[in-house]
Amino acid sequence: MEASDVASYVDAGATCVDELDGNLNRKVHVESQVPIDLMKTSLYPYNITYTCKNHAGISAIPSTRHVLVQDRTCPSCNMLAGPSTIEASFPFSDAGAICKDSINKPIGEVLTFNPVNVESTGTYFVTYRVRDSSKNWNDGVSENYWKQCKGGKVYQRRIVVVDTLRPVVALRYNGHILQVGSHSDVSSSDTPEENPIPFSAAPYGKLMAETVASDHWLAGAIIAGGSGLLVLAAAGWHSRAPSKEMPSI
């Protein structure tokens, strides 16, 4: 019998026949050791013995049914709600999964294979694997003699790591921050109230820089005297600041 939390064991019974008395099914008596509980797997079979006597009181040879309750059904899992797309370089914590065996008994230990690398864009699959007390795995593998359980399923969460944010850019001249860009294509202001941009540089206020090498970049702006020429030098936040000297023409 397959273990179950909803089914109950119903015995098929036995028949008894006598050459003289004919059908004696009503004379069959059932002797069982203990009630059969389908919610509990058994290492040893339950024994159900049937006896019968004819009208002369002569007993038939007893017949015994052996009932073994086994769990041949794979455990199942329910993946908890979580994101399917995440932004690169941001922390990611997997939502996990809750698993149970065929009789709705929770399984505490869930093996999780999480290859997600938030520093590399691409598609990843988080895989969950679990084994119940009967040594059945969710993907159909069994460590018992039947080798394979019923209802096997692979549980995987698809995670796509994307990079959709632009780097933040700042413009500096003579030690002053002229402008700090936002993550959008256009900075919030071409002429900030503090450290206003000289007239000759104002037309270049909407310039932004983008790179795949770093999320945070600093742009140094050097304005050639009187020419209105704007020179941008991109460097990492921790790199050496651009020179403050004016170029000679």
- In a domain, residue 1? The reply is no
CA distance linking residue 191 with residue 202, whole number of Å: 7
pTM of the model: 0.61
- In a domain, residue 10? The reply is no
Which domain CATH number covers 140? 2.60.40.10
CA distance linking residue 130 with residue 135, whole number of Å: 9
pLDDT at 178: 66
Least confident residue range of 10-24, 73-87, 133-147, 206-220: 206-220
CA angle 50, 56, 60 (to 5 degrees): 25
CA distance linking residue 114 with residue 111, whole number of Å: 10
CA distance linking residue 199 with residue 211, whole number of Å: 28
- In a domain, residue 96? The reply is yes
- In a domain, residue 149? The reply is yes
59 and 108 inside one domain:
no
* Structural domain containing residue 179: 170-236
pLDDT at 215: 37
How would residue 71 be classed by pLDDT, with cut points 50, 70 and 90?
very high
- In a domain, residue 82? The reply is yes
How would residue 182 be classed by pLDDT, with cut points 50, 70 and 90?
low
Give the residue from 157, 154, 156 showing the smallest Cα distance to 139: 154
Domain final position from 162, 192, 226 = 162
Domain final position from 162, 193, 215 = 162
- In a domain, residue 11? The reply is no
Cβ distance 70 to 134 under 8 Å? yes
Number of domains present in the structure of the chain? 3
178 and 127 inside one domain:
no
- In a domain, residue 91? The reply is yes
3-state secondary structure of 231: strand
80 and 155 inside one domain:
yes
Query: Pairing state of beta strands 155-162 and 85-87?
Result: parallel
Task: List, for residues 206-223, the tens digit of each pLDDT value.
Answer: 333 333 333 333 334 333
CA distance linking residue 99 with residue 73, whole number of Å: 13
80 and 21 inside one domain:
no
